[in-house]
Structure 1
Amino acid sequence: MYKVFFEDIAVGDVQKFGSYEVTREEILEFASKYDPQPFHLDDEAAKHSVFGKLCASGWHTGAMMMRMLVDHVKATGAASMGSPGLDEIRWLEPVFPGETLSVETEILGTRESKSRPNIGLIKAAYKTFNQDGTLKMTAISNYMILRRPK
């Protein structure tokens, strides 16, 4: 079932993946449920905001990044066991309807779990770009991955 384990991952590894088209409809739907600020819901209000036009919530951008990450984990067969959380998240540029996002990851650190011998812990940096290569969001996360069975 799994193809990629803790032992297959090294500090400095970089992967690029994903393609997620951002739609106006999805921006409105997400914002109406989770971040109902005017610049995420109303074109006229957004025009008068610092963003200049309707844009995605930063939390929505994170959710889109997460979707691409999970799709990548499934496609590669990585033995991911979830995450204890983020160390950092930065929304650098607004995300607008019509953009297409992708992700780049870099492994920053690896260590064996002290409490769970079958788990490895990974620290990774994530960068989310649009189709023009503009950096939109960064995050640093920790995640758990199974060690290769003996």
Structure 2
Amino acid sequence: MALTHYEDFEPGIRLSLGPRRITMDEIVAFARQYDPQPMHTDPEAAKESLAGGLIASGWHSCGIVMRMIADGFILASTGQGAPGIEEVRWLRPVRPGDDLTLTVEVLERRPLRSRPEIGMVRFRMVLANGAGEDLLQQTNWVMFRRRDPGREAEVPASTAARGHQGATPDLPEARPSPDHARFLDDLVPGETASLGTYRFTPEEIVTFARAYDPQPFHVDAEAARRSLFGGLCASGWHTAAVWMKLMVAHWERQRQAALSLRLPVPSLGPSPGFRDLKWLKPVFASDALTYAVRIVEARPSASRPGWGLVTQHSTAVNQHGEPVFAFTGTVMWQRAPAA
């Protein structure tokens, strides 16, 4: 059965995609561009990390999932993009040589009342390796054109009431963040830092999209003009990967500042995932996004002595000051050594 329109995505449908082998070279290439941490770029240094060896960036694994569903059904459908991601859980690392498979399940659907020609379909996706171990779980809505916009689709009451995205979290009052790296115990909720500004060129938008999200509105300027977006725009995963790129650069500046003050420097570990990622407005060619991050919570880990979990809320605004991107994520952070 061809899955092309909203009406074709009946709740309960399951698809199996792959396998798709991931290589060391592509792990390192993505990480050098967007997530240049040693556990993703240096096989020897990665052995000394919490991961115990070279692993793919979590954002790389999300890009791979996007490419697998694009090739599996999105490109042959009337897909119109996604408003965001409810949740991604990175359960185990993606390692070189893994043969990746993806299970996609349709959970529910509903018409978009503000645009009767569009319907929303909610998916759960599970990425696994060749040993059958789950590596990533993702839940999100995708927009598709309706074959019959005049016919009102049945909407479960729970879905209609809930909507497609989580509410904006209650955030602690913003305060400036010190400009040097600190251990988890010294972090204060509300501390906010600017990560910098990044301009999305048409060339980079197309290059990223051809690799991970080759939908027409990301790779073809003329097709993009005829889409809901009205112009060439970056993949949402591209905007997220750039956040990671700027975040790593910010951390390196903080690390160097601590070293210059002759202070001990903590280590960061992998992230277990994120939630409530929202692509609020399209990021068009030549848009300049300014990213920021605010600490929401810092707490010790119950399972890993000497480590803790830091929850951060990250945002981006474009050159007009319009919010375009936001999510809440968690990262493992080293605690101060015992005195």
On whether the aligned pair clears a TM of 0.5, the verdict is yes
SS in 1 for 2:269: coil
TM-score (norm 2): 0.42
> For each residue in 1:25-50, what CA deviation from the matched residue of structure 2 results, as whole angstroms up to 9, or x when unmatched?
00000111100100001111101111
The aligned residue for residue 333 of structure 2 is 145
* Contact 2:307–2:334 under 8 Å retained in 1: yes
Other-structure match for 2:248: 70
Per the TM alignment, residue 149 of structure 1 is displaced from its structure 2 partner at its CA by 2.0
Partners of 1:65 and 1:102 within 8 A in 2: no
Offset at 1:111? 0.9
Matching residue within 226, 234, 243 for 1:56: 234
Structure 2 counterpart of 1:96:
284
Using structure 1 for the length normalisation, give the TM-score: 0.93
Larger relative contact order (Cα-Cα within 8 Å, sequence gap ≥ 6): 1
**Could you list the runs of 5+ residues in structure 1 that have no partner in the other structure?**
none
2:188 alignment partner, SS class: coil
Match of 1:44 among 222, 227, 245: 222
Q: Which residue type is aligned with residue 218 of structure 2?
A: H
What is the Cα-based RMSD across aligned positions, in Å? 1.4
The worse-fitting range, judged by mean Cα deviation, of 129-138 and 46-55 is 129-138
> 2:283 is paired with a residue of what secondary structure?
coil
Structure ID, larger Rg: 2
Count of equivalent residues: 149
Q: Deviations over 1:15-68 (max 9, x none)?
A: 112121111000000111100100001111101111100000001111111111
The 5-angstrom pairing of residues 102-117 of structure 1 reads 102-117=290-305
Shift of 1:8: 2.1
**SS of the counterpart of 1:50?**
coil
Identity of aligned residues (%): 40
Q: CA deviation at 1:142?
A: 0.6
- Counterpart contact for 1:87–1:142, Cα < 8 Å: no
SS in 2 for 1:75: helix
Structure 2 distance, partners of 1:75, 1:18, is 12
Query: What is the rounded CA distance, in whole Å, between the counterparts of 1:3 and 1:9 in structure 2?
Result: 10
Amino acid at match of 2:315: K
SS at match of 2:292: strand
Higher mean C-alpha deviation, range 54-63 or range 100-109: 100-109
Q: 1:121 maps to what in 2?
A: 309
| Alpha-carbon distance in 2 for matches of 1:100, 1:117 | 41
* Stretch of structure 1 that moved more, 73-82 or 94-103: 73-82
Residue range with higher mean Cα deviation, 70-79 or 19-28: 70-79
Residues 16 and 104 in structure 1, CA contact (< 8 A), matched pair in contact too: yes
Counterpart CA distance in 2 for 1:82 and 1:50 is 36
- The offset of 1:119, in angstroms, is 0.6
Q: Which amino acid aligns with 1:138?
A: A
Separation in 1, partners of 2:323, 2:190: 20
Structure 2 contact 299–310 (Cα < 8 Å) conserved: yes
Paired AA for residue 12 in structure 1: G
Is there any run of 5+ residues in structure 2 with no aligned partner, and where? 1-179, 256-265
